[in-house]
């Protein structure tokens, strides 16, 4: 009985012993080769091949506790010694960059664009690596956040601080910004953080800036509509945009301060009065509507979040927010009930957060995430990439002077408004599109009237 049990193993014994000896020998040879290769490298080459990762962001998943997003992984840059390239990855000198993720801060298309961007400046084969001191990010831009001490401004500044494209981050607020800047300055990412407090330092904050982001203003409280915010935030935006016009008129201007449907027209009027209006460089940031639409659709249809793209058009408040679910990528079918439920949830998602926080604030974190995504897209556009995002801009897509839709961005700002999204709309979408126009028109006119009644300061 015992002999029968041993017989199968006995027959394989010699083979297993030989395989084990062979594997051991191969392992020792590999170890010797690796040791020899390492000893031949200079200190700078060894530093350049040190694996380092930098998290740019992650695919966001929110909603019911039972919802999971297992596919949402951190986006990492991992330098590898290939092709004699030199660039910047995280905090290490690197000879090239490889991307190891199914998802990223911006999505699959953005990952591909970043991969191309980081591989653009190659050295000649016989050219030695530059010294550690001379290594800089591939592209360096200055970004100013106006309202950096607020609920949106602080997490937004943190996310912008992680960008490899930013060389200087200017933080402005009327108070409490010095501590925010000191805190962020300890993060070991390349951008230099500077703080500016009060009107007397605003001009210095804006000098030489490439992108200005304006989240300044008061947050929405329970029972407060976006329209209630108008009188307070309109004056704030007007004052800040006047300073932008005087100190960095060529910068991309991102308006986050609500109500965006009115504050963007106010900014446009101020820039016109200053004689520096460029409609291609003024953006109302509606990215949060897209982020929410992508998240809710992925959850509802059990789709991989990184693959989902839902264009959201119109404005940035209530029924003016119109997700074009029929244009969802990948193509997916919805019942009438699902279309109604998803549309209403996307439109009222801000209220959902306000009520959940029970008076303690509004959608600050998700707004910061969405705004950081739009900043990164703008920086990539300035760096020469073709970038597609939805934004609230001056438009000729219909009779309204401002309208949110998908746009193509480049070095000079808006290069194209994508009209194809409006072809072949469903009956529900067409009716909703017509229904939002009167409210959006009224908001635009209110902003223009406010700006024209209050002349800009010289």
Kindly list the catalytic residues: 316
Coil vs helix vs strand at 148 = coil
174: tokens are: 């009327």
Report which of 417, 385, 416 is spatially closest to residue 398, judged by C-alpha positions.
Answer: 417
Report which of 349, 410, 377, 104 is spatially closest to residue 254, judged by C-alpha positions.
Answer: 377
DSSP codes joined into one string, 73-84: ----EEE---TT
| DSSP 8-state assignment for residue 268 | H
CB atoms within 10 A of CB 218: 15
Q: CA-CA distance, 237 to 224, in Å (whole number)?
A: 19
At residue 147's C-alpha, the angle toward residues 143 and 149, to 5°, is 105
Longest dimension (CA), the chain: 104
Cis peptide before 330 (omega within 30 of 0): yes
Would you say 294 and 314 are in contact if contact means Cβ atoms under 8 Å apart? no
Phi-psi region of 441 (alpha: psi -120 to 50; beta: other; left: phi over 0): alpha
| DSSP 8-state assignment for residue 176 | S
Report the DSSP beta bridge partners of residue 94: 87
Report which of 408, 385, 386 is spatially closest to residue 395, judged by C-alpha positions.
Answer: 408
Cis peptide before 259 (omega within 30 of 0): yes
CB atoms within 10 A of CB 448: 18
């Amino acid at each position: 009985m015992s002999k029968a049990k041993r017989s199968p193993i006995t027959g394989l014994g010699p083979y297993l012993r030989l395989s084990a000896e062979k594997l051991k020998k191969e392992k020792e040879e590999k170890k010797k080769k690796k040791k020899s290769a390492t000893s031949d490298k200079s200190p700078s080459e060894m530093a350049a091949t040190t694996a380092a990762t930098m998290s740019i962001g992650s695919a966001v998943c929110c909603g019911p506790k039972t919802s999971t997003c297992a596919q949402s992984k951190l986006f990492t840059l991992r330098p590898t010694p290939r092709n004699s390239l030199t660039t910047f990855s995280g905090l290490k000198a690197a000879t090239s960059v490889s991307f190891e993720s199914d998802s990223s801060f911006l999505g699959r298309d953005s990952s591909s664009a970043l991969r191309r961007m980081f591989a653009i400046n190659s050295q000649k084969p016989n050219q030695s690596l530059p010294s550690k001191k001379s290594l800089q990010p591939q592209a360096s831009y200055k970004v100013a956040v106006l309202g950096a001490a607020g609920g949106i401004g602080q997490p937004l500044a943190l996310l912008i601080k992680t960008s490899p494209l930013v060389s200087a981050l200017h933080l402005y607020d009327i108070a409490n910004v010095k501590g925010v800047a000191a805190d962020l300055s300890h993060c070991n990412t390349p951008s230099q953080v500077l703080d500016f407090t009060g009107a007397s330092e605003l001009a210095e904050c804006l000098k030489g800036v490439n992108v200005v982001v304006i989240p300044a203003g008061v947050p929405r409280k329970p029972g407060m509509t976006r329209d209630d915010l108008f009188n307070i935030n309109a004056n704030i935006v007007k004052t800040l945009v006047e300073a932008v016009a005087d100190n960095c008129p060529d910068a991309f201007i991102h308006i986050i301060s609500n109500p965006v449907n009115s504050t963007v027209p106010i900014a446009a009027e101020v820039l016109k009065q200053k004689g520096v209006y460029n409609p291609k460089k003024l953006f109302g940031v509606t990215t949060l509507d897209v982020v929410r639409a992508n998240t809710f659709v992925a959850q509802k249809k059990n789709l991989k979040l990184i693959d989902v793209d839902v264009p959201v058009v119109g404005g940035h408040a209530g029924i003016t927010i119109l997700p074009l679910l029929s244009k969802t990528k990948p193509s997916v079918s919805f019942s009438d009930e699902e279309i109604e439920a998803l549309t209403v949830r996307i439109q009222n998602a801000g209220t959902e957060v306000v009520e959940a926080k029970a008076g303690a604030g509004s959608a600050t974190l998700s707004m910061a995430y969405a705004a950081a995504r739009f900043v990164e897209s703008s920086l990539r556009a300035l760096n020469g990439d073709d970038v597609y995002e939805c934004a609230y801009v001056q438009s000729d897509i219909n009779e309204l002077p401002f309208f949110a839709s998908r746009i193509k961005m480049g070095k000079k700002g808006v290069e194209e408004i994508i009209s194809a999204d409006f072809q072949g709309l469903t009956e529900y979408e067409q009716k909703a599109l017509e229904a939002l126009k009167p409210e959006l028109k009224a908001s635009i006119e209110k902003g223009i009237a406010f700006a024209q009644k209050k002349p800009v300061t010289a």
